[in-house]
Amino acid sequence: MKKKILEVLGTALLLQSGIQSAFAQVPLSEATLEGDEVIETVYGNIELEHHFIAKGEQELFDIMDFQRASQAYIWSTPIVSMKTWGQQEDQAYDVAGLENFVVLKSLKEKRGIVTGNLTTPYIFTFSNLKEGAVKLEYPKGMTAGAFLDLWQRPVADLGLTGPDKGKGGTYIICGPNDDPKLYEGKADFVVQSETNNFFIGLRILEADPQAEASFKKALKLGRVGSELRKATFAEDKNIEWSATAPRGLAYWETLHTIINEEPVREQDKAWIAMLKPLGVEIGKPFQPTEKQKDLLVKGGNMGELMLRNLQTNPRFTVPYWEGTNWYKSFDFNIPQSNEMMVYLDERAVWYYEAVSSTKGMVEPSPGYGQVYMTSKRDENGDLLRADKTYKLHVPAHVPVDQFWSVTLYSENTRRPYDNGGENISDIGINSRRTDVTYNQDGSIDLYIGAECPKDVNPANYLKTVGNDGWFIYFRLYAPREEFFNKSFQLSDWEVVNTGLSK
């Protein structure tokens, strides 16, 4: 009897061993994807029986949709950021409509713009080409501006970097379904946008206030075939607002609005297909299920984390000056693509951190355009912190034909930093300021951090607060050859002693 029991137990153990062998758990990297197999993944186990998916069907769909949402966030960042900017600006300043521009001058006004420039006034308008082509009578003067499409690509520069070369002229911009040939001879310059949504933005580069007044008085625009009207300007409003793209479902709702307003480009069709199972679909209302909402929110958050990582550690490029942590912005071209690829990560990093582009920004050359330098690590390679204080040594004779500037931004919002200050000088220093202190050799030391070191001129210092991580743009306007041949170079941030309050 005892022998019989042992035989039964032995047979049972052999059978159990065979079952365990047939359904042995293997990591994904070692999976054969054949027969009977339990595959371990970071999302849970997937079971195969006779090659079929026996368990994990819904998990695989969820993985697919989560991954697609994460990558769709990266793909769509330029257009969602641009659309958000236009929507929020129109709402805050009541400037919806073709001829209505907003003029942003104060710190509070400019703090709404993602990495806004504090040195010169901004003049902006957002509009749509669905109702027909637009004609612009652009005045002469020292200005830098552009038409941009919704992908934030320059359709045409305006002013000094545009075809009018600062001499002024007439422009016609037509939409993606229009024919530019219809407008030949009706303006000095005819251009076409690939999107219906478009933007006109410009900066007055002359310091003389009269130059701005004259320019605004002469600026006219309207639909082609209609009488051009003088532009109107909403200014001196001093309104707090935000153009930072929303998080959560609001991000995807904005994207849904966009894909239903714009024609689909060939290069974007695969992305449109990926969005459909997530409830972001052309021709249908945005009414995601609870499951879709969860995946969209999680996917959007992961996409932003991925972009933040790329922004801090841009693996597609190297520091501009060897041995430093300084990067030159714009690692892509004006079309944002070449014959082989779309600059997917490169453009997403810029448009997550900033807004807009012009030919002068993307393709600067000696004496032409603008350069944007940024760094997020100190001399030790450590990330910059809001609770420490740092020094940046700027050598004498910064190679610019116009001016240079340093502006402080929040890593969270990517907008001008809010440290409680009310003046532009509280978060920006530039070569036009006369209150800063230079060293005897013409160089200048700038300080950013939690406390102003003792014996430092407060005009040379920008304050950080709490745990609001920060970065700067060091801008060079009309950079000279010394920048391009790298004989001019910025050193890394130097950590200075803290606790030395002014």
- From residue 349, give the alpha-carbon distance in Å to each of 315, 391, 414: 11, 26, 12
Q: Is the pLDDT reported for residue 38 higher than 90?
A: yes
Indicate the residue type of 317: T
- The beta strands (E) that lie in 150-240 are given as 154-159, 169-174, 189-192, 197-204, 220-223, 229-230, 232-234
End-to-end Cα distance, the chain: 94
Q: Up-side HSE of residue 293: CA atoms within 13 Å toward CB?
A: 7
Distance CA 161, CA 362 (A): 11
pLDDT over 90, % of the chain: 86
Q: What is the pLDDT of residue 114?
A: 97
389 or 17, which is more confident: 389
Which residues are 159's β-sheet partners? Answer: 144
Q: Is the pLDDT reported for residue 435 higher than 90?
A: yes
SS (H, E, C) 50-112: CCEEEECHHHHHHHHHHHHHHHHHHHHHHHHHHHHHHHHHHHHHCCCCCCEEEEECCHHHHCC
Fill in the DSSP letter of residue 426: G
Q: Are 495 and 390 in contact (CB under 8 A)?
A: yes
Where does the pLDDT of residue 1 fall: very low under 50, low under 70, confident under 90, or very high at 90 and above?
low
Q: Are 83 and 258 in contact (CB under 8 A)?
A: yes
Q: Helix or strand or coil: residue 493?
A: strand
Question: What is the pairing mode between strands 100-104 and 232-234?
Answer: parallel
Q: Are 443 and 396 in contact (CB under 8 A)?
A: yes
Distance CA 391, CA 447 (A): 5
Instruction: Tell me what the pLDDT averaged over the chain comes to.
Output: 93
Where does the pLDDT of residue 23 fall: very low under 50, low under 70, confident under 90, or very high at 90 and above?
low
With tokens 């000088």, the residue in question is 425
Q: Which residues contact 269 (CB under 8 A, 6 or more apart)?
A: none
With tokens 């210092």, the residue in question is 461
Q: Are 102 and 231 in contact (CB under 8 A)?
A: no
Q: What is the pLDDT of residue 17?
A: 42
Find, among 145, 242, 143, 261, the residue nearest to 200 by Cα: 145
Q: What is the pLDDT of residue 3?
A: 52
Backbone dihedral region for residue 31 (phi beyond 0: left; psi -120 to 50: alpha; all else: beta): beta
Q: Which sign does the torsion angle of CA 255, 147, 115, 322 carry? A: positive
DSSP one-letter string for 427-466:
TEEETT-SSS---TTS-EEEEEESSPPTT--GGGEEE--T
Q: Tokens standing for 17?
A: 């061993």
Find, among 212, 231, 156, 230, the residue nearest to 188 by Cα: 156
Render pLDDT for 50-106 as a digit per residue (tens, 0 to 9): 999 999 999 999 999 999 999 999 999 999 999 999 999 999 999 998 999 999 999
Q: What is the pLDDT of residue 14?
A: 40
Fill in the DSSP letter of residue 386: T
Where does the pLDDT of residue 497 fall: very low under 50, low under 70, confident under 90, or very high at 90 and above?
confident
Render pLDDT for 39-66 as a digit per residue (tens, 0 to 9): 999 889 999 999 999 999 999 999 999 9
Query: What does the radius of gyration of the chain's CA atoms come to, in whole angstroms?
Result: 28
Distance CA 435, CA 432 (A): 9
CB atoms within 10 A of CB 27: 9
With tokens 């204080």, the residue in question is 389
Q: Are 44 and 58 in contact (CB under 8 A)?
A: no
Exposed / middle / buried, residue 501 (Cβ in 10 Å: 0-12, 13-18, 19+): exposed
Distance CA 390, CA 461 (A): 10
Render pLDDT for 347-386 as a digit per residue (tens, 0 to 9): 999 999 999 998 889 999 999 889 999 999 999 999 999 9
Distance CA 91, CA 104 (A): 15
